[in-house]
Amino acid sequence: MASFRRYSGGVAEPIARQAFVAGRVPADLARTLADQLAGPELRLAFVFADRRLDPAALAGVHRELGAPVVGCSASGVIGPRSAEAGPGVVGLGLYGDWIRAGIGVATNLSGAALTHSHDAVHRAAAALGTSADALEPGRHVGITMIDGRYDREEAFCIGSAAAAPRIRFVGGCTSTDHREGSAPPTSLPTSMPTSVWANGEVLTDAGVVVVLESDQPFHAVTSAHLVPTELRTVVTAASGRVIEQLDCRPAAPRLRQLIESIGDRLDEPRPSHAFARYINGVPYVRSLHEVSGDHLILTCAVEPGHVLRVMQPGDLLGATRRDLATATTRLGGSIAAFLAFSSTGRHDEATARSTGHELAAAYAACHAVGFHTPSEQSGMLLVNHTLTGLAIGAPKS
Pair 58, 47: CB distance under 8 Å: yes
User: What residue type is assigned to position 342 of the chain?
Assistant: S
| Number of structural domains found in the chain | 2
The CATH number that applies at residue 303 is: 2.40.10
Do 256 and 263 touch, CB atoms closer than 8 A? no
Is residue 310 a contact partner of residue 259, using CB atoms and an 8 Å limit?
yes
**174 and 306 inside one domain:** no
Mark whether 167 and 139 lie in a shared domain.
yes
If asked whether residues 139 and 245 sit together in one domain, one would say no
Count of beta carbons in the 10 Å neighbourhood of residue 310: 23
36/122 same-domain check: yes
Q: Which residues are 12's β-sheet partners?
A: 7
State whether 371 and 273 are in the same domain: no
pLDDT in tens, 91-149: 999 999 999 999 999 999 989 999 999 999 999 999 999 999 999 999 999 999 999 77
C-alpha closest to that of 102 among 44, 152, 182, 148 = 44
Q: Are strands 206-214 and 218-224 parallel, antiparallel or unpaired?
A: unpaired
Residues 145 and 284 in one domain: no
The reply to whether 251 and 172 lie within a common domain is no
pTM score > 0.85 for this model?
yes
Q: What is the pLDDT of residues 293-345, one digit of tens each?
A: 999 999 888 899 999 999 998 999 999 999 999 999 999 999 999 999 999 98
Boundary-marking domain end, from 312, 345, 373: 312
**Are 381 and 243 in the same domain?**
no
Q: Which residues lie closer than 8 Å to 132 by C-beta, 6 or more apart?
A: 121, 122, 125, 163, 164
Among 312, 340, 375, residue at a domain's last position: 312
One domain, residues 365 and 297: no
Q: Which of 312, 345, 370 is the last residue of a domain?
A: 312
Find the domain containing 101 and state its range: 1-225+314-397
| DSSP bridge partners of 47 | 71, 91
List CB contacts of 10: < 8 A, sequence separation 6 or more: none
Residue 373, burial from CB neighbour count under 10 angstroms (0-12, 13-18, 19+): buried
Do 268 and 385 fall within a single domain?
Answer: no
